[in-house]
Structure 1
Amino acid sequence: MASCVVPRSNVLDALMAESLACLQAVRYAKELGFRRVIIDGDSLIVIKKINEGMHDRSIIAPVIHYIRMKARDFDVISFVFGQRDANNVAHVLARDHRTQNDPCFWIEEVPGNAAYAANMDRLKLDSV
């Protein structure tokens, strides 16, 4: 339904990058007025931390806490783990826009490379 790329500087940890991406997805869904949302992420650690509801002392704990707080704004929200190879769209968007300084937002469309990746992902899921 929607996607975005929001450049972040000085994020050296992949786990922090994944948790910030999840937070951005929640914010964007809220901004668009969605009430029922599925957030699909390929970081099992981040998805587990959000779903378990336990407090921990990891570097991403404050981001996870904020995601849980923002999740209360939705009628229904699910955080699900999806294999990276079934979500190439996110990685194509990140790769193709990594040198941009400004955020990019798309609603019901994506750039050509990402559209191709979406079709490939769909074919993979259909063959399972």
Structure 2
Amino acid sequence: MAEDLGFRKLVVGGDSLTIVKKAQSLEKDRSSVVASIKHIKEISRRFEEITFRFASKSVNRTAHAMVEEGWELSSSTYWIEEASVRVEEKAERDRRACCD
């Protein structure tokens, strides 16, 4: 989706420190998640710049709220400039926890 929208520089957050580290690593992965890491790295090459950052579940309520809402929907939904009130509230709490 980011590629389709024309984004060239991305910051990707994830709550799995192992995956984030492996995505950042230049070494060839030989773990049980090798297929996922290979796929992430293939997609990464399409962007001018991509940064992977770890965000623990405890400070990333927004992502989890989006997932919960996604489960409730019957079709694919993309939030580009706005999201539901529930997600917006979680995002504001995450922002305060991160940056205040």
TM-score normalised according to structure 1 size = 0.70
For residue 38 of structure 2, give the secondary structure of its aligned residue in structure 1: helix
For residue 85 of structure 1, give the secondary structure of its aligned residue in structure 2: helix
Moved over 6 A (4+): none
| Aligned match of 1:73 | 46
Q: Deviations over 1:51-83 (max 9, x none)?
A: 113333433211211111111111111011112
Indicate if the aligned counterparts of 2:14 and 2:20 stay in contact, CA closer than 8 A.
Answer: yes
Shift of 1:47: 0.4
Amino acid aligned to 2:55: G
Q: Deviations over 1:18-68 (max 9, x none)?
A: xxxxxxxxxx21121101111011110110111113333433211211111
The runs of 5 or more residues in structure 1 that have no matched partner are 1-27
For residue 56 of structure 1, give the secondary structure of its aligned residue in structure 2: coil
| Aligned match of 1:120 | 93
Structure showing greater relative contact order (alpha-carbon pairs closer than 8 Å, 6 or more residues apart):
1
Q: Distance in 1 between matches of 2:70 and 2:7?
A: 25
Amino acid aligned to 1:71: S
| Aligned match of 2:55 | 82
Q: Deviations over 1:88-120 (max 9, x none)?
A: 111001112224342210111111100000111
| Aligned match of 1:38 | 11
Q: Distance in 1 between matches of 2:96 and 2:90?
A: 10
| Aligned match of 1:7 | none
The runs of 5 or more residues in structure 2 that have no matched partner are none
Q: CA RMSD in A?
A: 1.5
Provide the aligned length of Structure 1 versus Structure 2: 100
Identity over aligned pairs, percent: 31
TM-score normalised according to structure 2 size = 0.88
